[in-house]
Structure 1
């Protein structure tokens, strides 16, 4: 597949995020207009890290399928920063319960993060660098680290693409 460029001026894209470590793969729908916000009306999958690629690919496709392009005036709850903070706190609680940890410190050291964007038949999987326990940036990530796959690919291939992108993530906590 030829390398494609994500067009940030074309708002027809759908977004999702994956947070992953040796214990869990957390896949969530993101929505908004330009911003990527954890969508309370989207989907969430908490999967064991060793889940097969078919299930991983299927979960990602399902999360992307319900991503919404929405303005604040059309969904004030989505853009409410207080509710967003509460959603994030609840998400962490669900993660801790899933992995049966009591401590966020153990959960987030390390925790890799991917941003996934589907646009015009291509899925762009963007790795990141974990700079703090709950913060990620693009430092040290090259444009060539992005993984692309056709959105018409099978679940197995999409799952493999996710795993490849995870190998390109960095963390200040990784050994």
Structure 2
């Protein structure tokens, strides 16, 4: 399922209205990967649904080993355009009038290497 030689990254944003999970890609430096749509969930989504979307976002993550690929991926102008589109999509979907209203109370965290193990007690 996961390749030990690859990095996996995802990010989650939450507000009082939604939970958004996105794939991040890169090599050391990472950013939102525009080839994958975000997973937008309601706040009443259960743990299983959230876990499934986090796992899917991590599995979609790409380690960009080629210099040309990284240069294109981290192009500043494309990044700015994608950010504007991302904000506009969220503002339209949830009826925010300003960016300030969208980002008020927004929380963000990133997922990297996730190790889950069972702790057995005797």
TM-score bin, normalised by smaller chain: 0.7 to 0.9
Asked if 2 retains the 8 angstrom alpha-carbon contact of 1:46 and 1:95, the reply is no
Relative contact order, higher structure (CA 8 A, sep 6+): 2
Q: Does 1:20 align with 2:14?
A: yes
**Unpaired segments ≥5 residues, structure 2:** none
Superposition deviation, residue 102 in structure 1:
1.8
Q: Using the TM superposition, name which of 38-47 and 59-68 deviates more.
A: 38-47
Q: What is the aligned partner in structure 1 of residue 47 from structure 2?
A: 53
Q: What is the aligned partner in structure 2 of residue 108 from structure 1?
A: 103
Larger strand fraction of residues: 1
| Whole-Å separation in 2 of the counterparts to 1:41 and 1:24 | 21
Asked if 2 retains the 8 angstrom alpha-carbon contact of 1:43 and 1:62, the reply is no
Asked if 1 retains the 8 angstrom alpha-carbon contact of 2:26 and 2:70, the reply is no
Match of 1:41 among 35, 38, 57: 35
Alignment TM-score, normalising by the size of structure 1: 0.59
Q: What is the aligned partner in structure 2 of residue 81 from structure 1?
A: 76
Superposition deviation, residue 112 in structure 1:
0.5
Superposition deviation, residue 75 in structure 1:
4.9
**Unpaired segments ≥5 residues, structure 1:** 1-9, 124-148, 154-175
CA RMSD of aligned residues (A): 2.1
Alignment TM-score, normalising by the size of structure 2: 0.82
Residues paired across the two proteins, number: 114
Query: Stretches of 4+ moved more than 4 A in 1?
Result: none
Q: Could you report, residue by residue, the CA deviation over 1:139-159 in whole angstroms, capped at 9, with x for unpaired residues?
A: xxxxxxxxxx51x89xxxxxx
